[in-house]
Amino acid sequence: MFKTILKSIKSLFIFAINTILSFLILVVLYVVLAFLFTLIPSNVDSLQPKEGIAIYIKSNGVHTDLILPMENKFYNWHERISFEDFAPDTTAYTWAAFGWGNKEFYLNTPRWEDLKVSTAINALFPGPTVMHVTLYGDPIIESSLTKKIILTDEQYLILCDYVTNSFKKNNENNFILINCCHYSTLNDNFYEGEGDYHLFNTCNNWTNSALKKSGVKTALWAPFDKCIFYHF
Residue-wise pLDDT for 194-217, tens only, equals 999 999 999 999 999 999 999 999
Q: Note whether residue 202 is domain-resident.
A: yes
- Give the pLDDT confidence score for residue 121 in this predicted structure: 72
Counted domains in the chain = 1
Q: Note whether residue 23 is domain-resident.
A: no
Residue 210 to residue 197: CA distance in whole angstroms: 15
What does the DSSP 8-state code read for residue 181? -
Residue 232 to residue 227: CA distance in whole angstroms: 10
- Give the pLDDT confidence score for residue 86 in this predicted structure: 84
Average pLDDT over every residue of 139-151: 96
Q: Note whether residue 113 is domain-resident.
A: yes
Range of weakest confidence among 79-83, 111-115, 221-225: 111-115
Q: Note whether residue 203 is domain-resident.
A: yes
Q: What are the angstrom distances between the C-alpha of 61 and each of 121, 132, 143, 207, 224?
A: 20, 17, 12, 14, 9
Phi (first) and psi of residue 217, to 5 degrees: -70, 120
What does the DSSP 8-state code read for residue 72? -
DSSP string, 106-119: HHH-SSGGG--HHH
Q: Note whether residue 5 is domain-resident.
A: no
Please count the residues of the chain. 232
Q: Note whether residue 163 is domain-resident.
A: yes
Residue 13 to residue 191: CA distance in whole angstroms: 46
Q: Has residue 115 got a pLDDT over 60?
A: no
Contact 97, 133 (CB under 8 A): yes
Domain around 196: 40-229
Region for 230 from its dihedrals, namely left if φ exceeds 0, alpha if ψ lies in -120 to 50, beta otherwise: alpha
Q: Note whether residue 154 is domain-resident.
A: yes
pLDDT digits (tens, 9 = 90+) for 5-57: 666 666 676 766 777 877 788 888 999 999 999 999 999 999 999 999 999 99
Q: Note whether residue 174 is domain-resident.
A: yes
* Better pLDDT: 215 or 182: 215
